[in-house]
Amino acid sequence: MDTSIMRELTSDLLKTDIPDFHSGDTVRVHVRVIEGDKERTQIFEGIVIQRKGRGIQETFTVRKITQGIAIERIFPVHSPRLAKIERLREGRVRRARLFYLRGRKGKSARIREKRR
């Protein structure tokens, strides 16, 4: 398919209320979860370790450590399942992909906060 046609078809599906966030930022993602006939919001809070893709296919990976176990979750940016994305802290990093955090824990896995 021609890219102009694809762009036109997907333009109405793109969200416009997405905050500006990058790798190293701490975010809180509100995810809509449907269980049976009930719907609730689940919160996933962690550090963004990468953003990938463009347009409707753009995703970001969030890593958090809960009870000593690291959890990484990949979210599509424009998914209708995402209720809200909040940026809590702006991290100061020099890489776009923070995969080196996977091998670290404790104080060595900390990210400095960006000064304003």
The model's pTM: 0.88
Instruction: Please state, in angstroms and rounded to a whole number, the distance separating the CA atoms of residues 40 and 37.
Output: 10
Output DSSP code: residue 12. Answer: G
Query: What CATH number matches the domain at 3-109, 3.90.960.10, 3.40.50.300, 2.30.30.790, 2.30.250.10?
Result: 2.30.30.790
- pLDDT score for 106: 87
- pLDDT score for 77: 95
How many CA atoms does the CB half-sphere of 86 hold within 13 Å? 7
Distances (CA, A) of 37 to 33, 41, 79, 81, 83: 11, 14, 20, 15, 18
Sign of CA dihedral 78, 81, 87, 93: negative
Tell me which residues of the chain have a pLDDT lower than 70: 1
Asked if 63 contacts 101 with a C-beta cutoff of 8 angstroms, the reply is yes
Domain boundaries, the chain: 3-109
